[in-house]
């Protein structure tokens, strides 16, 4: 509950694909007793972040409207965008729907590494 409203987190599109891929990789790693891998670290970080978003959908850093990449506006017609820093410089990108309604849903649209994040948001290497 957040401000008396039910909160859900939904992984969609590329975020869902990345999450399912990581879960599969981690399962295979654990079956052969491979412990402490980057995949395991990132998956654990994603799962902790999702739990935090269930408690507070505004947990992440709000991205200013003028900084929202056209990629998200054209692909998903987003009006707001947020990011959470994950382990190993990965990012979780999401938008919030329903802050003024009975139920709040945080739609996780991307889970990406630092290089992908810089490319989508137009940041250059210095």
Encode pLDDT of 29-65 as tens digits. Answer: 999 999 999 999 999 999 999 999 999 999 999 999 9
Distance CA 63, CA 83 (A): 7
Q: Count up the domains in the chain and report the number.
A: 1
Confidence of residue 126 (pLDDT cuts 50, 70, 90): low
Inside any domain, residue 99:
yes
pTM of the model: 0.91
- Would you call 29 exposed, middle or buried from its count of C-beta atoms within 10 A (0-12, 13-18, 19+)? middle
Inside any domain, residue 126:
no
Main-chain phi, psi angles of 19, to 5 degrees: -60, -45
Q: What residue numbers bound the domain in which 69 lies?
A: 6-121
Q: Could you tell me the CATH number of the domain that includes residue 56?
A: 3.30.2310.20
């Amino acid at each position: 509950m957040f401000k008396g409203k039910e909160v859900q987190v939904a992984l969609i599109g590329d975020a869902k694909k990345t999450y399912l891929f990581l879960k599969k990789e981690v399962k295979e790693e654990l079956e052969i007793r491979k412990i402490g891998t980057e995949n395991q670290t990132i998956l654990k970080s994603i799962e902790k972040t999702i739990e935090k978003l269930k408690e507070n959908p505004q947990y992440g850093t709000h991205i200013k409207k003028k900084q929202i990449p056209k990629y998200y506006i054209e692909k998903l017609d987003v009006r707001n965008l947020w990011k959470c820093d994950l382990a190993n410089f990965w990012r979780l990108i999401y938008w919030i729907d329903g802050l003024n309604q009975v139920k709040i849903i945080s739609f996780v649209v991307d889970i990406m590494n630092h290089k992908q994040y810089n490319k989508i948001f137009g940041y250059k290497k210095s």
